[in-house]
Structure 1
């Protein structure tokens, strides 16, 4: 149940206010009974009737004030539960780091909105409707137990309709969840691939493709919503027939026989509508909750996920040794490389060279513990960390060929939200060669989406600043300068390799002689040969 993620104090307050709101129904029904009985008694005491009307109006004013507080507390619960679900899903999705983000985007937008509307809100309404039902039926039993039993028996009909329609709604919602995820991916593809579609004059094809996915999603949504509407209509029709017309006919007969007063009959009809309507609404809300089952299942995984505290600080680094590493793909069982061995000393600069497609990036992922080799082992400080992300990754920082930039400030992109002293930040900015940019633009400069406000060289330097700020002993560089011009590549290498306290392992397929000369060791992975400085 989603409401277990709300504060207990909020739920208690909501339940109390919902009970007060439910009493409004009983209060009005009771006052109607008294007023009608007075009016039909033959008495001409008009002032008594007026006093009753004034009392009813004052009571309604009090209930109105309480209902304002009820709605405020209700909206607060919805907001807080939504934030809990969003945080949990964000933690889970970021922790998983899946390259295919379509399901995550769909979950964080459409799915969570469906959960808010059809689960959280519905469950809160179910509490109110349940209390309304209990209040109305209790007072109804007190007033006329015979008529109450008639009305209760009649509620079996809408209950049967709900039992039949509920599985159908669940199935329709599963179809909608799948088509919605596909639509989200198509929209993402269309926007990200806009330049390519314009270049090759295929914009219409891409729009048609996305529109088809949208049509499938809308059809699935229509079918789900229509099924819910039909189910609700069937429930209401059954309620009107069996829970209103039949009991009212029986009540009329009892009144004709003198066993029921007119005020009591009208009150019973009013109460009946207010304990039949909650029942019907409860069935409808239950169907709404059922429609969110596929989305809630995904969210439940995120809520149960525990993010490990992996902020381990590496106090010292004695060296890394790789022994006879080989890797075979899981999909087609193809051997990527075999027999890779190397040693890295503290502060040493190592260049790993091999042609494109050899598997250099895969090798770096093995070092990080993201993948497991077929054979061989990786030792850090003499400890085997092969395939162990938790044990290995805190030794490494990473410079990508195409670093990711957050659409935020320069400061955030360097620190990634960490609290850093001004002195340490200034030092890192200087070491990464960002002094000029910071002096001209300031740390509060917005870098734009994907770093659109920065040059390629500036983006690489921000990535280097991130790596240096982490204070980790080994920096991995994955084709870090292959997309830059020769002079900029040389400048970046001077920045990367000048720090004596950081070991650097760079993989590349092409590099200039001047840049090669900056490394202590050059290993040709495809040839199993090693060059060292004399």
Structure 2
């Protein structure tokens, strides 16, 4: 329930204010009964007194209603923040085994926040409306209230007839939504390529199927919910108006109750049937979020601490009899501290994949991976590595943030690394506080690679992995950076490169042709 994810004080205050909001309908029904009965007495003094009570009472209930709305929106905010923080912690602390994608983090999560959590808050109010109205009705007329209450339960049986279809159509909609979102993301990512080769019409046609599947799945889900709602309304009109009024009019005609009491219970009966139908309808909606919620719970339980202990000193790493898919088989490698190693292999061998295995992002199909003679923990092994990727990661943040990733780096060390990686001119022109565009759209390929390299050096990790880290630089600048970085890095370097000059290759202590080691 919602109170698991927010302040207990706020939850208690919400329930208290919801009780007062539910009592507003009881107060209104009481006034109806009093006004109807007063019409038969011609007591003008009591009429004006009752009107004064009505005005003051509704003003108080309005103020309490404002408080109810305020605390409800505050609870929703707190819960939504908790959900998002848990999922971010999961993504940052794991390898995303659940395969959470943009569709889940946007569309599905929004449905979870609104349809499930807000639905639970509404159920609390609906239940209180039913209970307060039911007990007030018992005071007015026991028999008539019981009849109203019993007949209002009949729609529950109707709801169960549609429950399975709603659940099935909900799962189909979620699957279609994920497929559609994936296709849209792919379309945006490759838009320039599609336009370049004039295949717009082809991709417009390819998008029609996921769009149609999504909308058809949504239509069926909404139709099943709509059928359920209409069946509930039709059933409730018969069971909560025709039958109870038949009994009520008979009791008035036989002198066992008053017209005012009948109208009061009739008005309160809206809070017998209305809240129950709303509860059942909301429960149907909640069912549509079950799989989304279960995935959130799994992510919440799987998230790990974001602050990991610093790695111990690096001694050696070893890959023995490593196989991964069809890329390589029975691969053996050993790397010792302070070695400077250049890895080479033909295109398609899987050099970048091998880096991902070292980083714990991928697990080999067979074989063992040890670090300091201990089997690696995929969740923490990355703490030994700094990584210069083929495609540099640039955040839409300041240049200093992109270099330091928010860490407190001494100015002297930052200045030294900026000089080592040839970023002095960029920093002088733009300043460390300048904000970069998303994905470094305002930077050249070489500038992005140098930022990536500088960032790796500033992280103070014992092993530096470089994956084509200077491929976008001119040969002279690449040589200069290699001479400075390779020679001055106080640790282990493993680099993948195709176009290094003989002078650059001579800086490495070992050169390994990976394709000669793998069967």
Deviation of the 1:13 alpha carbon: 0.6
After alignment, is 219-228 or 143-152 more displaced?
219-228
Q: Please, which of 299, 304, 310 is the counterpart of residue 301 of structure 2?
A: 304
Deviation at 1:209, TM superposition (A): 2.0
Paired position in structure 1 for 2:88: 90
- Residues 440 and 262 (structure 1), Cα distance of their counterparts in 2 relative to 1, 3 Å cut: same
Deviation of residue 424 (structure 1)?
A: 4.1
Aligned to 2:42: 44
Please state whether the residue corresponding to 2:28 is helix, strand or coil. Answer: helix
2:468, 2:495 within 8 Å by CA — same for their partners in 1?
A: yes
Matched-pair contact (CA < 8 Å) for 1:95–1:307: yes
Q: Shift of residue 395 of structure 1?
A: 1.6
Equivalence for 1:413: 402
Deviations 1:39-81 (A, max 9, x none): 12xx322121121012111100000001001001000111111
Correspondence list, 1:77-156, <5 A: 77-97=75-95, 103-156=100-153
Q: Is the 8 A contact 1:93 1:104 kept in 2?
A: no
Give the Cα–Cα distance (whole angstroms) in 2 for the partners of residues 373 and 310 of structure 1.
29
**Correspondence 1:328 to 2:328:** no
Q: CA deviation at 1:517?
A: 1.7
8 Å contact from structure 1 (residues 401, 483) kept in 2: no
| Higher alpha-carbon deviation: 146-155 or 514-523 | 514-523
For 1:315 and 1:368, the matched residues in 2 are separated by 16
| Distance in structure 2 (CA, Å) of the matches to 1:10 and 1:83 | 15
* Secondary structure at the counterpart of residue 72 of structure 1: helix
- Structure 1 gap ranges (5+): 530-534
Q: Distance in 1 between matches of 2:368 and 2:259?
A: 91
Paired residue for 1:338, among 330, 355, 366? 330
> What is the alpha-carbon distance in structure 2 between the residues aligned to residue 195 and residue 245 of structure 1?
65
Q: Could you report, residue by residue, the CA deviation over 1:120-173 in whole angstroms, capped at 9, with x for unpaired residues? A: 111101000101111000111111110011112212321111111222111111
Secondary structure in structure 2 of the residue aligned to 1:522: strand
Report the CA distance shift for 1:379/1:231 in structure 2 as closer, same or farther (over 3 A): closer
| Matching residue of 1:237 | 234
Residue 35 in structure 1 maps to residue 32 in structure 2: no
Write the deviation string for residues 241-268 of structure 1: whole angstroms up to 9, x where unpaired: 1012210111001101111101111101
> Would the aligned equivalents of 1:327 and 1:335 in 2 still touch at CA under 8 Å?
no
Alignment pair present for 1:378 and 2:375: no
Q: Distance in 1 between matches of 2:330 and 2:499?
A: 22
Aligned residues: 517
What's the offset of the Cα at 1:231?
Answer: 1.2
CA distance in 2, matches of 1:295, 1:150: 39
Alpha-carbon contact 2:402-2:451 (below 8 Å) kept: yes
Q: What residue is the counterpart of 1:67 in the other structure?
A: 65
Q: Deviations over 1:448-498 (max 9, x none)?
A: 222111111111111112211211111011222334443343244234313
Partner of 1:461: 450
1:356 match? 347
User: Larger deviation: 151-160 or 419-428?
Assistant: 419-428
Could you tell me how far 1:391 is from its partner in structure 2? 5.2
1:399-440 CA-partner distances (Å, limit 9, x unpaired):
111122222222222222334444443343333332221121
Query: 8 Å contact 1:349–1:505 — kept in the other structure?
Result: yes
Q: How far apart are residue 17 of structure 1 and its match?
A: 0.2
Q: How far did 1:309 drift?
A: 4.8
Q: Tell me how far apart the structure 2 counterparts of residues 45 and 339 of structure 1 sit (CA, whole Å).
A: 100
Cα distance between partner residues in 2 of 1:445 and 1:239 = 64
Supply the RMSD in Å over aligned alpha carbons: 2.3
d(CA) in 2 for partners of 1:267, 1:100: 54
TM-score (structure 2 length as normaliser): 0.93
Distance 1:244 1:425, change over 3 A: farther
Question: Is the deviation greater in 408-417 or in 251-260?
Answer: 408-417
How many angstroms apart in 2 are the aligned matches of 1:100 and 1:145? 54
The equivalent residue for 2:194 is: 197
| In structure 1, C-alpha distance between the alignment counterparts of 2:327 and 2:506, rounded to whole Å | 32
SS of corresponding position for 1:433? coil
Greater Cα shift, 214-223 or 369-378: 369-378
Aligned-partner SS, 2:101: helix
User: Higher mean Cα deviation, 136-145 or 486-495?
Assistant: 486-495
Decide whether the 8 Å contact of 2:18 with 2:125 is kept in 1: yes
Match of 1:404 in 2: 393
Change (3 A) 1:419 1:138: farther
Checking the alignment, whether the CA contact within 8 Å between 1:432 and 1:461 is kept in structure 2 is yes
User: 1-side partners of 2:226 and 2:202: how far apart?
Assistant: 35
Change (3 A) 1:164 1:321: closer
Q: How many Å separate the matches in 1 of 2:425 and 2:447?
A: 10
**Distance of 2:283 and 2:371 partners within structure 1:** 56
Partners of 1:528 and 1:278 in 2: CA distance: 71
Give the Cα separation in 2 of the matches to 1:528 and 1:149: 83
For 1:233 and 1:219, the matched residues in 2 are separated by 20
Report the Cα distance in structure 2 between the residues aligned to 1:457 and 1:108, rounded to whole angstroms. Answer: 33
Give the stretch that moved more between structures: 269-278 or 491-500: 491-500
Residue 390 of structure 1 deviates from its aligned partner by 4.1
**1:503 and 2:503 equivalent?**
no
Shift of 1:206: 1.3
Say whether the 8 Å CA contact 1:173–1:294 is kept in structure 2.
no
96 and 395 in structure 1: CA distance in 2 versus 1, 3 angstrom threshold: closer
SS at match of 1:205: helix
SS in structure 2 at match of 1:402? coil
SS at match of 1:19: helix
